[in-house]
Copies of this chain bind each other. A is one copy, B any other.
Amino acid sequence: MKKINTSPISGTQELLPEIQATFDKIKQKIAEKYKAHGFLNIETPILERTEVLFAKAGGDTEKQIYKVAKTNESMEEATEALRFDHTVPLARYVVEHENDLAFPFKVSQIGESFRGERAQRGRFRELYQCDVDVIGRGDLPLFYDVDVISTLLDAFSSFGLKTPVLARISNRKILKGLLEGMNLQEKATDIYSIIDHSEKVSAEKTEAALDEIGLNPDEKAKILSFIDLNGEASKVVEGIKALGVENTTLEEGLNELSEVMKLLKTDGCDNTIADMKIIRGLDYYTGTVFEFILPEHKDIGSVCGGGRYENLAEYFTDQKFPGVGGSIGLSRLFFVLNDQKLLENSDEKPIDFAVVPISDNENAYSLEVAKEMRENGKTALVVAGSKKLGDKMKYASKIAKSAIVIGDAEVASRKYRIKDFT
């Protein structure tokens, strides 16, 4: 009889071993790909000073931060909290260790963050994020925008996704320049927000929203045409030029987008499109922005996102650290992929061989056989104890792909047969 509620608390992930093995495999594949592309892994502490976390935060983020205190301390005095993403700790890390780092600093971070969200299905309060960033000191070549997107696409190709992934790419300078050229700077925030939401609402609602902020028919038509531009970079660039707006920022954005798309194709990343619907929130990003989706499962929404930012650490230092980065929200991604059965081999048994001695007399040779298997790169355990062979084999069949029964004869001959359960 249970004496206490033993369920994990809501908004956290707790998996059975077979499913955990699939999760771990994906996490490891992502880590391997990040490393293969030359990103150096770091791990900042989960515990952070509140003044560091609050330096940038505000509004909703601030309310979501978990403070910590010992049981005999009061919350009002709490000076420590749990990180809510990898970006703020990375900014602190770069400023703190600047003199020991080589720039551009290609860095990966894989670990848990904590957010006081309202818990709901597939939404986590304790969540894994897998980030890559390239941080420059002073400046950072456009090339690294390609580097980040290419690395993230390679990561997605590595973990046995049964459905294709597509990178949708834009550049914030394009819309910024377009609105400047149209003399709509003052309405920029509203327009960003309307475009950002345009996929979640009907075309009529988007149109109505543009009316509401007072766009004239010509302006509205241009913005609506803009929103619908996606596909090959050359086609999108042509479409934007056809709007007839002249602006140097716009020009710069189009050139950057073309260059990024061209290099991505060269690098074999064919699953990429230019897409003017991609905004990625209102501030922070200043150049390239991107989101990955699974085009055959649009309902899932974005499975990865990121972009270029002018200044990583503006709240911590006067020095300029431009960067480009992206993040895979692994907890949510895994929840969805597992839920919709979009992962290959997710039901594989995690152990290769169960070596089953008939009695304790065969334990020693069984250990030897298991070791032999491990030396060949396999996972192997010994199923010991005085239970009946039938019971031990039933157990073996639950956890392992194959069994090796060891009795007198096997010990004497030092030979054995492998029984396959699959």
Contact = CB atoms under 8 A, between A and B. Distances in A.
Contacts of A63: 70-72
A275 interface: no
A308 to B, nearest CB: 14
Contact of A69 (B5, B14, B17, B75): B75
Contacts of A280: none
B71 A67 contact: yes
A18 B102 CA distance: 11
Given A47-B126, A70-B67, A267 B367 contact: yes
A143 B382 CA distance: 9
A51 B317 contact: no
Nearest to A28: B28
A80 B9 contact: yes
Copies of chain A in the complex = 2
Interface stretch (A36-44, A173-181, A229-237, A413-421): A36-44
Given A3-B317, A386-B141, A44 B9 contact: no
B144 A384 contact: yes
B75 A74 contact: yes
Contact of A38 (B114, B266, B379): B379
A52 B141 contact: no
Interface string A344-383: 0000001100100000100110011011001000111110
A15 B109 CA distance: 12
B15 A42 contact: yes
8 contacts: A2-B95, A3-B55, A5-B51, A5-B52, A20-B41, A21-B40, A66-B68, A140-B385
Given A69-B75, A150-B367, 20 more contacts: A4-B52, A4-B315, A6-B52, A9-B49, A13-B45, A17-B40, A17-B42, A36-B374, A36-B378, A37-B370, A37-B374, A47-B125, A47-B126, A66-B69, A67-B68, A67-B69, A67-B70, A68-B82, A263-B364, A267-B364
